[in-house]
Amino acid sequence: MVRLINGILYFSEGIDKTTIPALTEQLALIFKANKPLTLDISGLTELDSAGVAFLETVQDQVKTYSKVVFLQGTPEHLKPILKTFSSALLPKEEQLYKPRYFEKVGDSICLAGQSFYAALVLTADILYWSLIGLFSSKNIRKGSFVQQGLLLGLQALPVVGLLSLIIGFILSLQSAAQLRNFGANVFIADLLAISLVREMGPMMTAIIVAGRSGSAIASEIASMQVSEEIDALRMMAINPIRYVVVPKFHAITVVMPILVSCAILIGELGGLLIAVGYLDLSLQTFVQRSIDILSLKDIIISLTKSTFFAWVIVIIGSHYGFSVKGGAEGVGKATTDSVVASIFAVIFFDAMFSLLYL
Amino acid sequence: MSMNAPSPIIEVRNLVAKYGDTTVLSDVSVDIYPQEVTIILGGSGCGKTTFLKNILRLHEPDSGSIKYWGKEITSMEEDEFNTFVLEHIGMLFQGGALLNSIPINENVAIPLEQHTKLPKVIIDRIIKTKLHLVNLDNAFHLLPSELSGGMRKRAALARALALDPEILFCDEPSAGLDPLTSANLDELLLNLKRQMNMTIVVVTHELASIHRIADKIIFLDKGKMLFNGTLKEAQNTDIPEIRQFFTVGRF
């Protein structure tokens, strides 16, 4: 409780974390009309660390209009508490330096540059050790290639297949409606074959793999980094890139073209349903035209592209994994960042390929 | 309550704790007295941490009674017990258990912000004094990952002290700390006992630390309580397990 008598603030009963909110309100009313200089706490029975902090803020408030403030009547049993929890004599905390807008922009550009450089170094490392890894199995755990192949490839097949079927289906359904207007039904096969082989097959598969396997790679490496497993590998004279990344790199290099081929075939199947069911094409025409329109170059570009995307996904995943900072939260952030970055990179490089090899 | 024989603050009677079929604690009865440092002692796997977890209800005891100030806590409702913990108990975990993604000052602020309606100015002052109490004036804005092991422990201690607990539980406070840092931490605990009239319960097996801070010792062995008394009595006892514990640890 607090009362104002003859210009003196009398505090009584207890000041602790439960009573402070009410006291703050009472005081606000008192300070509106009065300017007391003296605080009397002789009636106090209880005081905790919050109470001490509260008394000090009240004194600070008095100091806004007066040079002096008096605290009187401290009961003997409360003196040690007042002394222990007083923050009056503590050094002022240093203000954190807050960078301005342009400084932040510049900073993030520098950081992006450094991160990009680190990613390039990592890329070189991964490519080098993958090449070496072809000829020497040193530092590579036995069976990890097959294990990773199953993980990155076979387990991704159902979702890749399902999505490809739906994409082939939609793609042909939408174009069928238009082609029908011009009586160009038969071209559905050309359209579907080119778009699936050149673009949709590699790109959609890469996006799914980036979301599924890229995130898995990033989070695995990030949590290994956070729990010092990577350091432990180094101390056993095992190159973490060779031990952790190279098997994934090899596996995905083999598995990705197979995944993309499956995606293209299943996508064609989806298109076939529309072509035969809705546009009244014969099965034979559809297959024949699809094969005729595709050149060897198209298929080579498609598979090269998909391998390249696979590499990009592994490299970006490992980059974010290795550069993780902080604990559990850092792992989550690294994973998210790696998925965003690898999807962006896949689409960007896809555009590059399209421009280069039209 | 007379000054000569204060009544115990915590009374544990016939506590039995099991993990599945293994009995970890059998029939432990202990009194813990106010404003003393009570050490729970014993070799690895004797049930020290389990004992602590049981009297804090982090692990539900199989049977037995646990009373704080004469109030039975094993039969309390969850809410009631939570309020009780908030008002009276602080706990320093073995690894510190700070939240790694937020700075030290916000870590200390968590209990204050979540459980009181104090204005921000006052909370800031409390954090400052609590961090000063554990000698961490300069770590205000640092992240836990930027601190050393000893500093992290002290920051965790500041968080445990945020709500002015009457009883402080510490699970192996000096584990993984060098002798100097560990001595500082002990000094800190003694200060808390003196300045804030705190009751402190420490689980440890560091002999040096025990010699510095212990008032009372509870010795557990294979889930049974072998000894309960003052440090002096413990050193002069003729129970072979305790004698061995003190002689092997001497250097």
* CB-based contact B129 A57, cutoff 8 Å: no
B187 Cβ under 8 Å from any chain A Cβ: no
Q: List, for residues A179-189, the tens digit of each pLDDT value.
A: 888 888 888 99
- CA-nearest residue to A79 within chain B is B195
Q: Chain A closest CA to B126's CA: distance in Å?
A: 6
The answer, as to whether pTM is greater than 0.80, is no
* Residues A30-43: tens digit of each pLDDT: 888 888 888 888 88
Which residue of B164, B190, B195 is the best one to mutate when testing the A interface, meaning the one whose CB has the most A CBs within 10 A? B164
* pLDDT for B184 beyond 90: no
Query: Is the Cβ of A48 closer than 8 Å to some Cβ of chain B?
Result: yes
Q: Is the pLDDT at A139 greater than 80, yes or no?
A: no
| Contact yes or no for A326 and B143 at CB 8 A | yes
User: What percent helix, strand, coil does chain B show, rounded to 5?
Assistant: 40, 25, 35
Query: What phi and psi values does residue A35 have, to the nearest 5 degrees?
Result: -130, 75
Q: What is the largest CA-CA distance in chain A?
A: 106
Question: Residue A108 has what pLDDT?
Answer: 94
- Pairwise CB contact (< 8 Å): B143 & A328: no
Q: What is the DSSP string of A131-157?
A: HHHHH--TT--TTHHHHHHHHHTGGGH
Rounded to an integer, the average pLDDT of B36-42 is: 89
B117 or A245: which leads in pLDDT: A245
| H or E segment and range at residue A125 | helix A101-135
CB contact (8 A) between residue A21 and residue B121 = no
Which amino acid is located at A170 in the chain? I
Other Cβ atoms less than 10 A from the Cβ of B34: the count is 16
pLDDT top residue among B100 and A285: A285
Interface of B with A in 17-56 (CB under 8 A): none
Question: Is A81 in the B-facing interface, judged by CB distances under 8 Å?
Answer: yes
Q: pLDDT per residue over B86-113, tens digit each? A: 888 888 888 778 887 788 988 888 888 8
pLDDT at B204: 86
Using the structure block, give the residue that is written with the tokens 């003694």.
B190
For residue A149, is it left (φ>0), alpha (ψ between -120 and 50) or beta? alpha
- A48-62, A299-313, B28-42, B187-201: range with highest mean pLDDT: A299-313
Q: Give the pLDDT confidence score for residue A19 in this predicted structure.
A: 87
The helix or strand, by DSSP H or E, that contains position B178, with its residue range, turns out to be none
Q: What are the structural domains, with CATH classification, of chain A?
A: 2-85 (3.30.750.24), 126-356 (no CATH)
pLDDT of residue B1: 40
For position B249, what pLDDT does the model report?
A: 66
The alpha carbon of residue B95 and the mean position of all alpha carbons in its chain are separated, in whole angstroms, by 13
Highest mean pLDDT (candidates A65-79, A106-120, B14-28): A106-120
Average pLDDT of A78-95? 78
Q: Which pair of tokens denotes residue A83? A: 């002394």
Contacts of B101 in chain A (CB under 8 A): 326-329
Question: B45 burial class (0-12, 13-18, 19+ CB within 10 angstroms)?
Answer: exposed
Rounded CA-CA distance A250/A242 in Å is 11
Of B159, B141, B68, B63, nearest to B102 (Cα)?
Answer: B141
Say whether pLDDT at B2 is over 50: no
- Residue B93 vs residues A58, B155, B175, B185, B202: alpha-carbon distances, Å: 35, 11, 11, 14, 11
Element (H, E) at B171: strand B167-171
Lowest-confidence segment of A215-219, A285-289, B44-48 by average pLDDT:
B44-48
Q: What pLDDT, in 10s, does the model give residues B122-146?
A: 888 889 888 888 888 888 888 888 8
Distance from the Cα of B152 to chain A's closest Cα (Å) equals: 14
What's the mean pLDDT when you consider all of chain B? 85
What string of DSSP letters covers A289-326?
HHHHH--HHHHHHHHHHHHHHHHHHHHHHHHHHHT--S
Residue B223 has pLDDT above 90, yes or no: no
Interface probe, candidates B35, B98, B118, B159, chain A, greatest A C-beta count within 10 A: B118
| Residue A120 scores a pLDDT above 80 | yes
Alpha-helix residue ranges (DSSP H) falling in chain B = 48-55, 78-88, 104-115, 120-133, 149-160, 179-196, 207-213, 231-236, 240-248
User: What is the average pLDDT across A206-231?
Assistant: 92
pLDDT, chain A, mean: 89
Highest average pLDDT, of A47-61, A126-140, A152-166, comes from A152-166
User: Which 71-130 residues of chain B touch chain A by CB within 8 A?
Assistant: 100-101, 112, 116-119, 121-123, 125-126, 128-130
Q: Tell whether A331 is within 8 A of chain B (Cβ).
A: no
Instruction: Choose between A128 and B163: higher pLDDT.
Output: A128
Query: Does residue A350 carry a pLDDT above 90?
Result: yes
Question: Which chain B residues are within 8 Å of A15, Cβ to Cβ?
Answer: none
Q: Are B101 and A96 an interchain contact pair (Cβ–Cβ within 8 Å)?
A: no
Note whether A36 and A64 are within 8 A (CB): no
B141 contacts in chain A (CB < 8 Å): 96
Q: How far apart are CA B217 and CA B32, in angstroms?
A: 10
User: Which residue(s) pair with A39 in the sheet?
Assistant: A9, A71
Confidence tier at B251 by pLDDT (50, 70, 90): low
